[in-house]
Amino acid sequence: MTSHSKLSNLDDLVFDNRFIRELPADEETINHRRQVIGACYSRVKPTPVMNPKCIAYSREVAALLDLHNDTCEGDNFTQVFAGNYLARGMESYATCYGGHQFGNWAGQLGDGRAINLGEVINQQGKRWALQLKGAGPTPYSRTADGLAVLRSSVREFLCSEAMYHLGVPTTRALSLMLTGESVIRDMFYNGNPKAEPGAIVCRVAPSFTRFGHFQILTARSDIPLLKKLVDYTIQTDFPYLGEPFPDNYLRWFTEVCRLTAEMIVHWQRVGFVHGVMNTDNMSILGLTIDYGPYGWLENYDPNWTPNTTDAQDRRYRFGNQPQIAFWNLGQLANAIYPLIEQIEPLLQAMNVYTETFEKGWQDMMAGKLGIKAFDSATDEKLFAELIALLQLVETDMTIFYRQLAKINCDIQLPMTEADFNLAFNYLSAAYYVPEQINASYKTHLHSWLETYSCRIQKDNTSNADRQLQMNKINPKYVLRNYLAQLAIDQTEQDDFSMIEELLTLFQKPYDEQPSKEKFAGKRPDWARQRAGCSMLSCSS
């Protein structure tokens, strides 16, 4: 798009707002907490704030909406995306959904601190829903205030954009606003509440529909509305499937299974841990949604979760994410069963998840190791031995794979001590506790590197080509929790420069960027146990 075709006025955005046009609204118009029956949404306006300030926006997401940068830097943009008033065409509402939280049915949940502004159709004909997170209470806020604090908002804003550039399916973030008001939060639910700066993020996605939107309707035996919502979803978000009818319900569910599997493969590829994989946090488009207590695997520990609420059972730990996604899809299958009334086809669709994930994981691991194509005869064992190796000592996952690309596999086998020492010198950058490296570990590593080099030689791949391919799949830069926390610390001191620096850095997470090398290092020792850097709560 050329610059002259971009919009200089928010009132020129083209809103379609099909969700509220085609689905039933809550008859009650007063904004108070309640059970909403027989409706998909409630009309509600954002709560005006005292002194809004735009501290960051994504130029790329603005471009998706055809917005000129000058528009995003004006006061009108700040006022609208802080929730002080609606631009022409915006119709604000919050949606009704339920969900399983930590494996237990929680009943009605809904957009408790998210308010939708409508759906923009850009000049390419693509639909983008806009949603403010932290803009005040809605009928679904339960006992909460519908607000968000700066620390969680910075994390969501940066991670949404970082994940996109990592190639992970995700919602996006347009803007990050300070409200000029304080919000009381007890960060770790331990009786120590304090006032924190309030903030609002504008999230952007083709759709924010979640598994829970369908679950709540089935739980209430509102099958006519369930059918209406599924029909709407197929027509709006999956038009390539054709018109809705029973066979297409199955095709749609199969597609959701496939998209979900692809998303989870990407999470495993980059070491991302969502932290709160409740069914109400699962997108029907296979997008990463709701960035709460997330984190990146630093030392490779499949049992790690960033969520203090999940610290005991570790339901949403890194290694369990594929199984949880499958379980969540089972709950969606239960929700749409009344429209199909056959178990076997639903089970077959869920098999598509399993097959897609297994093949995707195998291809992903082959790619991470620079192998041309997965070979079950050799590679299953190679992968399993590597995963076991990574857990023997505290090893940084991101750095290990990046450094592995540098070693010389074009060597005479068996591997000599000199060749091993050269390889070990590269990999040593990934170890957090060098004292853990003992003779037994080195023996295991030597054996694995020898097998790995033999496998690469079988492909007849040059070191240069292998490194090039591996570096396209294994990022050098990920949004480690301590980096997000440093940005939060600076922002709380009215210094917004690190947000911009990280936003720019993560636009090219696979590139070397020599001037940004400091952001590629291991987690520093001071961040090992610090709140916000190791584990986080669901509080925001």
Which stretches of 375-476 are DSSP H helices? 379-390, 397-404, 417-427, 439-459, 463-473
Strand partners, 67: 7
Print the SS3 string covering 208-256. CCEHHHHHHHHHCCCHHHHHHHHHHHHHHHCHHHCCCCHHHHHHHHHHH
Establish whether 375 is a catalytic residue. no
Looking at residue 320, the DSSP 8-state letter turns out to be G
The set of residues, in sequence order, having a beta carbon less than 8 Å from that of 57 and lying 6+ positions away, is: 72, 73, 77, 174, 175, 176
Bridge partners of 201, per DSSP, are: 133, 176
| Distance from C-alpha of 163 to C-alpha of 160, rounded to nearest angstrom | 5
Residue 240 exposed, middle or buried by CB count within 10 Å (0-12, 13-18, 19+): exposed
384 backbone dihedrals φ, ψ, rounded to 5°: -60, -40
Cβ proximity of 255 and 284 under 8 Å: no
Residue 513 and residue 526: Cα distance in Å, rounded?
25
Contacts (Cβ under 8 Å, ≥6 apart) of 459: 371, 372
Judge whether 184 and 193 are in contact, CB under 8 Å: yes
| Catalytic member of 26, 231, 237, 280 | 280
Is 200:57 a contact under the CB 8 Å cutoff? no
Phi-psi region at 290: left, alpha or beta (left = phi > 0; alpha = psi -120 to 50): left
Helical (H) or strand (E) element with 132? strand 127-133
395 forms beta bridges with 431
CA 391, 393, 394, 395 dihedral sign is negative
- The string of DSSP codes covering 454-497 is HHHHHHT--HHHHHHHHHHHS-S----HHHHHHHHHHHTTT--H
Instruction: Residue 498: name the closest of 479, 521, 512, 473 by CA.
Output: 479
Tokens of 122: 């850009």
| 274/272 Cα distance (integer angstroms) | 6
- Is residue 41 within 8 Å of 137, Cβ to Cβ? no
| Side chain identity at residue 374, one-letter code | F
- Token reading at 495: 């210094």
List Cα–Cα distances, 489 to 24, 190, 328, 495, in angstroms: 44, 22, 36, 9
- Active site positions, annotated: 280
